[in-house]
Chains A and B, each alone.
Chain A
Amino acid sequence: MLVLIPLLPFAGFVINAFVGRRLSKTVSGGLACLVMVAAFLVAAITGWTVISGGHAIEQTLFTWLPSGDLQIPFALRVDPLATVMILVVTGIGALIHVYSIGYMHEETDGEYARYFSYLNLFASFMLVLVLGANFPVMFIGWEGVGLCSYLLIGFWFRKKPAADAGKKAFVVNRIGDFGFILGMLLLFASFHTLDFQGVALAAAARAPETATFGLMTAATLLLFLGATGKSAQIPLYVWLPDAMEGPTPVSALIHAATMVTAGVYMIARNAVLFSHAPTTLAVVAGIGVATALMAGTIGLVQNDIKRVLAYSTVSQLGYMFLAMGMGAYAAGIFHLYTHAFFKALLFLGSGAVIHALAGEQDLRNMGGLKKALPVTYWTFLTGAIAIAGVPPLSGFFSKDEILFRTFTGTAVNGWNGRPLLWLIGIVTSLLTATYMFRLVFMAFHGERRHDAPAAPVRPEEEEPGAPVPPLPGPVYSDLPAVDRTHGATHASHAHEGAHLHDAPPSMAIPLIVLAIGSIVAGFIGVPHAIWGSNRIETFLDPSFEVSREAAATEPGAPLVDVPPAAEPHEDTGRELTLMAVSTGIAFAGIGIAMYFWLRNRAASDRMARRFAALHRLLLNKYYVDEIYDAAVVQPIRLLSTSGLWKGVDVGIIDGAVNGVGLSVGAGSRGLRRAQTGSVRTYAASLFLGVVLILGWYLWR
């Protein structure tokens, strides 16, 4: 039963991948949606069983990694935490599949099928990630979604930025995976199990590493490195904004609602382990809140509609990590869940705008779309209100819960920085409301504009004029560069200005459904302070403790209690105050946006001029790419050009990640130069090995 959930999308992938080119768009798209809906139904039934039964369902398919006493089964498990996730993945996934039918209709049959096969494959892997009962099974999904994300970002691989973005995402995620695998191996070596429950039990049997830097701290830090890669946190967040080069529904599904939350999910999944490593939790909280603030400020000045949303995603993910770091796992997952609704909605809405404007993504070239695109406008507005945190929409409840928990929890490692974290959170909340409504006002209100300076055409980057050996650059650079943007295909329809059309039904319906979701999704988590019952928290909490049945089977293991979550009933008064503050902040943010970008646009320009340095700093994303470039790329380039590889022209590459690629590439080329083709060189190398090893031995 459980296995059906990932298997259904996988079947869709197989059919679309192998025979998709021969199917018409209706069939291949319809099939892809159908399997997702079916998966959603199965997930719903499963979820209902979990909710009503109150305990986890487990299905072991077979023993996967057997070796003596170490058995790792291929097992799937649904507990409350996983229930929430599978519902989000299949539900929102199905909606986005439906949306894609309309959005991608310009593609050729083959490309269309390819797109849907990737999308189905992604859903399948994401479900494996969520359902896996142990680390290796989760890792299958973890790697799989990364692969799909990479394929989908580079879907229009003839577009150079898309290809570069795919490459960047790939490399950054490999750094994260490196941490994940090492963390996993470390746990395996010390706990001799990789089952999540087993790890939780083993961790619970140890004393929390409060002041010491021990095994669990090391393992959790490594796992967290993996999470920062997948969930775009400092310092590995740089790939996500670039990932917006992919098709918009992909941004909605993978880079907003599901895949990027995998890091959060993974931490929540190992809540007991992380709770026993307070140092890591402090790091998680710090990174989370720093990322939230930084991405929020960058989002304030970006002009590309999708990039604003991308930074907003990074920022909201920061909130979730803040919750994880505070030990408020349920609150974090609650936010993950509501965020999936409104962020998917916002992305799909922006997709509808881009679709209507024939590929235009620059906010400065928008405006006044309210009348032409009513459905898009109203749904988008709903999403914006939800993310801004205006009650009673969903974003308010989840965000408020995180901020409340941040403010009230116990001290971390003896350091009580909670008020500070809360303050930063509140500031970020203000920023969120501001940049979201800036976006709404710039895109939908006022008059249609064409302000954007023409994008400077980047000179065609030439292949390094290498001497003898052909030096294909990294992954994509030696592909034929054919410009075929989404916009270009739309432009042929000449939607220019006169008759903008609103989203077609296949796109409108998902928008409306998601808008409704964004409004009501929060009601399952209404806090006690305002006469709610916070059902989601009571539902999720068992997932974050050592399961009683599992503990019972291991009599020797003393139960060390997880630090108790703060009692929600205690300070109703304080909670209400905080709630009022954050509501006020949300309205303040909207007000600021209204002042600068609706009433008085000149003021915003004045502000930009007055704080020109700050504005430039934000516009250039804190120069992080440039800093990485200066710190990593340039020294290496200097080294590599100065002497050793003088003849090798080094390509012009931007960004830190590419810097790593560059240094590695230079090393690679150096090694190739050593491969002279001369037998004598080879014999010398062989002999060098002999002399060195013997010399080493004798020297000792």
Chain B
Amino acid sequence: MDVIAFYIFAAIAVVASVLVVGQKNPMHSVMLLITSFGALAGLYVLLDAPFTAVTQIIIYAGAIMVLFLFVVMLLNVPREEPAPPAVSALLGPTGIRIGVILSLLLGAEIVWALSRIGLGWFPQDPAAASVSSVALIGASLFTRHAFAFEATSVLILVAMIGAVVLARREH
């Protein structure tokens, strides 16, 4: 059951992601990205991480992607624009081809790296309890990682102020 669910969710995520990158229309890309994130949330559930799954849906698919959608609609530029005249050989199609080749090279390297390790290699700590409980994560966030949590609040504040600074109209 789990296995089938994994392949279904993974397939949805990958196909949606391919379409995100391949889409001409940014609006469609946003929608597809939300789909992909939804599939990922499903995978988190399979991974015994319900809290992460919920975060994924609420924050990622909900908040962040809505923000994207909002900007796309605000700016209203549905189509990819044509390339401006290239001033250097590195721009234009050659540049894009180089980018693709590089990405594929890295992909090949990752495949190679992965192929060298066994499936069950990763260390396991059988003594520890299951981590699925939200309580455990909450405790970890507010005790063990309380400092990082508080530090993140500064980060969020910076982001808020920064967004205001950047998006405010001149008066």
Contact = CB atoms under 8 A, between A and B. Distances in A.
Interface of A: 468, 673-674, 676, 678, 680-681, 683-684, 687-688, 690-691, 694-695, 698
Contacts of B103: 687
Given A691-B106, A695-B105, A678 B95 contact: yes
A690 B103 CA distance: 10
Contacts of B96: 680
Contacts of A468: 87
7 tightest Cβ-Cβ pairs between the two chains A and B = A676-B88, A691-B105, A676-B90, A687-B102, A694-B109, A681-B90, A691-B106
Interface string B136-163: 0000000000000000000000000000
14 contacts: A673-B88, A674-B90, A676-B87, A678-B90, A680-B95, A681-B90, A688-B102, A691-B105, A691-B106, A695-B105, A695-B109, A698-B109, A698-B112, A698-B113
A468 B113 CA distance: 44
Interface string B97-140: 01100110110010011000000000000000000000000000
A698 B108 CA distance: 11
Contact of B95 (A684, A688, A691): A684
Contacts of B91: 676, 678, 680-681
Interface of B: 87-88, 90-91, 95-96, 98-99, 102-103, 105-106, 109, 112-113
Contacts of A687: 99, 102-103, 106
A-side binding surface: helix, strand, loop or mixed? helix
A676 to B, nearest CB: 5
Contacts of A683: 99
Nearest to A688: B102
A677 to B, nearest CB: 8
Contacts of B112: 698
Contacts of B113: 694, 698
Contacts of A690: 106
Given A673-B88, A676-B87, A676-B90, A681 B106 contact: no
B109 A681 contact: no
A670 to B, nearest CB: 12
A235 B88 CA distance: 41
Contacts of A681: 90-91, 95
B133 to A, nearest CB: 38
A691 B109 CA distance: 8
A227 B91 CA distance: 49
B106 A694 contact: yes
A687 B95 CA distance: 13
Given A676-B87, A680-B95, 15 more contacts: A468-B87, A674-B90, A678-B88, A680-B96, A681-B90, A687-B99, A687-B102, A687-B103, A687-B106, A688-B102, A691-B102, A691-B109, A694-B113, A695-B105, A695-B109
A680 B83 CA distance: 13
Contacts of B106: 687, 690-691, 694
B102 A684 contact: yes
A73 B103 CA distance: 55
A684 B104 CA distance: 12
A583 B106 CA distance: 79
A684 B88 CA distance: 15
Contacts of B98: 684
A683 B99 CA distance: 8
Contacts of A691: 102, 105-106, 109
A680 B95 CA distance: 8
